[in-house]
């Protein structure tokens, strides 16, 4: 299959005032596009050219480092854009809400744990809510453009929500204030999509 650079599912200014339009435009058209272009160039040099990203990640430790960095960058940002929407936020409902309450006690406790993972990731990386092989939830973070699908992960799982905590994701609006950016993120989380991801894993 040919790899496609995904459409941004909303306008650059759609997540204002929480995520500003200038950051969205640069993040999508420059950062995400560069990950896409460099991934396509890197994977062409391997026998996995054309394979789905999820499959590539299960072998990523044996592939050239640019595949890991740029393939991760491609996948992670696509999941991130789809995890947000205008007029979103609030709290999950249904089976995901139940699972969060069972694992973390409450939605607020879950958010605190996710906030810690995002705030305490040193340097560049991502915070994740993921589903482990036994269908339980887990919160963790990863460095650089790694993610929990990679065979290098110390928290192997399928991510259903991700937050980019690279400085390029927030510096124009929030400068060094990563915790303020993390707080703003909760106003744009598209729980319908996150819940659908969760339920599709349960139904596998
Ligand atoms: Mn990014």
Distance from the CA of 128 to the center of ligand 1, in angstroms? 14
The pair of three-digit structure tokens given for residue 27, joined into one six-digit string:
């993040």
What does the mean pLDDT of the chain come to? 97
Give the domain range for residue 114.
Answer: 94-202
Distance of CA 125 to the CA centre of its chain: 10
* Bridge partners for 141 per DSSP: 127
pLDDT digits (tens, 9 = 90+) for 62-103: 999 999 999 999 999 999 999 999 989 999 999 999 999 999
Q: Is residue 61 part of a domain?
A: yes
Rounded mean pLDDT of 146-160? 97
The pair of three-digit structure tokens given for residue 193, joined into one six-digit string:
């999509």
CATH number of the domain at 150, please: 3.55.40.20
- Which pTM value belongs to this model? 0.97
Ion ligand 1 — residues with CB under 5 Å? 31, 164, 166, 169
pLDDT digits (tens, 9 = 90+) for 126-146: 999 999 999 999 999 999 999
Distance from the CA of 142 to the center of ligand 1, in angstroms? 13
Q: Cβ neighbours of residue 174 under 8 Å, at least 6 residues apart? A: 180, 181, 184
65 shares its domain with 103: no
In this structure, how many other beta carbons lie within 10 angstroms of the beta carbon of residue 101?
14
| Sign of the dihedral defined by the CA atoms of residues 86, 194, 121, 36, in that order | negative
């Amino acid at each position: 299959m040919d790899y496609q650079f995904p459409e941004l599912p909303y306008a650059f200014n759609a997540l204002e005032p929480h995520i500003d339009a200038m950051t969205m435009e640069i993040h999508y058209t420059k950062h995400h596009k560069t990950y896409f272009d460099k991934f396509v160039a890197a994977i062409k040099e391997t026998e996995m050219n054309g394979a789905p990203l999820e499959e590539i990640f299960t072998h990523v430790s044996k592939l050239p480092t640019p595949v890991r960095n740029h393939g991760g960058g491609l996948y992670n940002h696509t999941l991130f854009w789809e995890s947000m929407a205008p007029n979103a936020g609030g709290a999950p409902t249904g089976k995901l809400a139940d699972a969060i309450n069972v694992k973390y006690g409450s939605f607020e406790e879950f958010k605190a744990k996710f906030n810690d993972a995002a705030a305490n990731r040193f340097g560049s990386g991502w915070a994740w809510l993921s589903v482990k092989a036994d269908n339980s939830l887990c919160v963790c973070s990863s460095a650089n453009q790694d993610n929990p699908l990679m065979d290098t992960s110390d928290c192997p799982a399928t991510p259903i929500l991700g937050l980019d905590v690279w400085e390029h994701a927030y510096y124009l609006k929030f400068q060094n204030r990563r915790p303020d950016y993390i707080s703003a993120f909760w106003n744009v989380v598209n729980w319908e999509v996150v819940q659908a991801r969760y339920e599709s894993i349960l139904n596998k």
